[in-house]
Structure 1
């Protein structure tokens, strides 16, 4: 899909939200991520553990929970589902990797992460076959589930800027060719061969139109528009990257032609509804892109900022809300336009 639109003729709509905070059973008001497993349960990662939500109530997993729900660490940064072993893997900023059984709901793994740097905190995580890639403040570590051991750390690209965020890993994903894209906040994007860990492509911050030139370009979210086309939500706007099997890349820094605001302001998250409508949360509005007419529609809502991954849950759409310290859900309806 090409996100091209005219700025005029946009429609806005106010939406009411149902919000969930500590009063409704969350372990913390500071929500980091929301994830839905294949059984339909929501998992809400917070600054104080993780919460399982069935649509009515929460089960808390914290450092102080009962033994079967006790995890190591508090500030949960990532949740990934392991369908082979029927587990959820979770990782905090500081602490060990834990896994939770999707069959029993009990915590079953507690894996110590070896850090040689006192600032090597964990930020994100990716499951690739039997290996867990861990993005940290200082690079990438890999844990082999089959052997129960950590491999040699991933070699980062050469970077002469020496920024404090040079090798801080904001996001990672596996593409349709089974290679791994690593997003370094102070450098750009590096694509690695998953098996050999060799670098096969680099996309620098200059390529991504780093307007602020602070060396701190945040990669907040991503969405595959097709197997070889990615939409990126960044701290400096929406970006689009097209690539072929040889990783010849085209970077489009103004995918919303005629609506430059989304190309330059911080975009917190991007998602797609079951109706193939792309939702983008940026600053004070939640925008919807029509897949056919390329019109923009936006929800003004009564909150300062929408933030976090869009999750569909029982015909409702779930976001976490920035500066409101909660998660919220709303019904988008069958027609956006």
Structure 2
């Protein structure tokens, strides 16, 4: 491919590339309307008056690069002075026409690739947004199970406490019996009857053993009371965990709604941008089929594309 052929792509990486691309696409839109040539003022009007002073220079630069060519405009000549005044009309060169079409094709590919990537991102974001509420619900279920287990532990502790209270009452009764036995023993000290003294001693030994057993029961009661207090503390922590999990669930649902709303707005904006950028790409492809084969080879045309090595040499 010659240096001249590569030159038609210079407008894509030039300093005023956005203006050059708008001008080139205006010639494409005019071609869709079966209008081959445009006057400079028609290009300015098509751009809504923007860059009115820069459009003539841009047309001249595009002509130097070989994208468009100029022809004398004699359609509105009515006097000799009009004929002597320079009036020109611009139209695509074959190379410039193919370069503009390739630019549109590359832009369409870029838009489709970005749309597919964004759709993938939106799918991943939606999946993550849906995963948050499921995890929060699992945490709530686990907290509720822990709360039920804590309730069962509290009921067991209450049963043990009642049993310990009953044991404490029995211990008090035994203590009273022991005191009565001690009093009886003291009374027997004044008696000379050996049999009564021996019986009193045996009763005192039995009362002492019973007191030891009841002392162990008192220790068990204290242990049961400590277990009940621990169960109460566990239930308090479990209820707090349930409240925290419910708050997390609400926040996760709000974040999921915000992500879905953001994804919907971004997708809508990119669809509109894709429609505006593609323009009449379908009609241009049909028109391009009637052209002679060979010529320009397709190459990327995103913004910032520099000339290939052959053009640089």
Pick the TM interval, shorter chain.
Answer: under 0.3
Q: Which has the larger radius of gyration?
A: 2
The structure where helix makes up a greater share of residues is 2
The structure where strand makes up a greater share of residues is 1
Higher relative contact order (CA 8 A, sep 6+): 2
TM-score by length of 1: 0.16
TM-score by length of 2: 0.17
